[in-house]
Amino acid sequence: MLDYRLDDETETLRKTVREFAQEVIAPQIGEFYERDEFPVQIVRQMGELGLFGLPFPEEYGGAGGTYFDLCVALEELARVDSSMAITVEAGVSLGAMPIYRFGTPEQKQEWLPRLCSGEALGAFGLTEPGGGSDAGATRTTARLEDGHWVINGSKAFITNAGTELTQLVTVTAVTGTRPDGGKEISSIIVPSGTEGFAVGQRYSKVGWNASDTRELSFSDVRVPEENLVGERGRGYAQFLSILDEGRIAISALSVGLAQGCVDESVKYAGEREAFGQPIGKNQAIAFMIADMEVRASTARLAYYRAAEKMLRGEPFKREASIAKLYSSEVAMDNARYATQVHGGYGFMNEFPVARFYRDAKILEIGEGTSEVQRMLIARDLGVG
């Protein structure tokens, strides 16, 4: 019998994160959002709560949980605010996970305890200004010279890259040519503050305004040869596997935003009166909210299924793409409906749904666009 109920430990985690999001994040995140400011203290508190170490073994300072535990936490964070949810998601999936999955024992011992505690944040530099979905079109280069990698190039749209907590960025770079003539792409750790490594100003974004997103540049940046992550020439393949996992996490984040839209709409529809009664008594409003709940609940099942297959060790690429595609579009739909339920107030930044609306669109773009997800699903079915 299928049973999607959370076990006692995961339910306790969910309630703890829910309480933290409501009591710590909700009262103050709107001000950070409007100031376009990264809330360092809130991020430190999320570290103290153990959120950055959820899926990692205790030997590295982690909680010894699963990737599903991370997804449950992300959903609860995004129910209140997506900026903080993506900070955790990127810190874990893109900052720490490549080192955990592919790093040497020395790299793991050096970096993971700090990343798991939230004392440090890591970032992953894949996307380039002219790359976008064509991640294989990497132009950043790294050549070996006297036992060091010498890196030149630039990266774009990198999350967690320039905060005062950021201590490393793992970058993909062309390190040679494959036997078939294609690019040999490898992953290399670049510690923050390395000479020649420049972090640009924060982007002015439509949404996720309390998260940190920057452009990076590398000019003859020298790091030790042992900073290579995984096998030389396997950097691109390694990152694709990280993305498969990350899509489940982004799906969970999307579900959180979609559910947050339901929460706020139910609350508002019960309080706002028009024509002598709460607007929720009007069937048009009630049906809109019911449809929002249907979408959020269905999207949750999609990411639960993808996470289940991942934890079983079964192929899950198709399920991850389905979950990411569907839940991100659900988040966008629910944000639009929630704004409509709120009427003119939904267009005011003081209301959470305005923030949800601004945050939702990137979910259809980041970590693989909706078009890329459809392509991957079709390809897995043998028709793409």
Cβ atoms within 10 Å of 183's Cβ, excluding its own: 19
Q: Which amino acid appears at position 107 of this protein?
A: Q
> Rounded to two decimals, what is the model's pTM?
0.95
pLDDT at 181: 87
Residue 38 has pLDDT above 90, yes or no: yes
Strands 121-125 and 166-177: parallel
pLDDT tens by residue, 273-290: 999 999 999 999 999 999
Indicate the burial class of 224 (C-beta count within 10 angstroms; 0-12, 13-18, 19 or more).
exposed
pLDDT at 134: 72
Angle between helices 235-271 and 317-342 (to 10 degrees): 30
Q: Cβ distance 57 to 100 under 8 Å?
A: no
Distance CA 64, CA 53 (A): 8
Cβ atoms within 10 Å of 14's Cβ, excluding its own: 16
Query: Is 245 among the residues known to form the active site?
Result: no
Residue 288 backbone phi and psi in degrees, to 5: -60, -45
Distance CA 28, CA 23 (A): 9
For the segment 316-340, the average pLDDT, to the nearest whole number, is: 98
Residues in CB range of 160: below 8 A, 6 or more apart: 87, 90, 91, 94, 95, 121, 122, 123, 166, 211, 212
**Which residue in 19, 273, 367, 371 is the catalytic one?**
367
Distance CA 128, CA 134 (A): 9
pLDDT tens by residue, 43-85: 999 999 999 999 999 999 999 999 999 999 999 999 999 999 9
Residue 306 has pLDDT above 80, yes or no: yes
Using pLDDT thresholds of 50, 70 and 90, give the confidence band for residue 195: very high
Distance CA 7, CA 15 (A): 12
% of the chain at pLDDT higher than 90: 93
Indicate the burial class of 313 (C-beta count within 10 angstroms; 0-12, 13-18, 19 or more).
exposed
pLDDT tens by residue, 120-171: 999 999 999 977 667 668 999 999 999 999 999 999 999 999 999 999 999 9
Residue 1 has pLDDT above 80, yes or no: no
Using pLDDT thresholds of 50, 70 and 90, give the confidence band for residue 3: confident
For the segment 228-254, the average pLDDT, to the nearest whole number, is: 94
Q: Taking the CA atoms of the chain, what radius of gyration do you get in angstroms?
A: 21
Q: 323: closest CA among 305, 336, 335, 341?
A: 305
Distance CA 297, CA 258 (A): 9
For the segment 324-329, the average pLDDT, to the nearest whole number, is: 98
Residue 236 has pLDDT above 90, yes or no: no
Could you give the count of Cα atoms lying within 13 Å of 49 in the half-sphere of its Cβ? 22
Q: Alpha-carbon dihedral of residues 324, 37, 123, 189, nearest 10 degrees? A: 170
**H-run or E-run covering 217:** strand 213-224
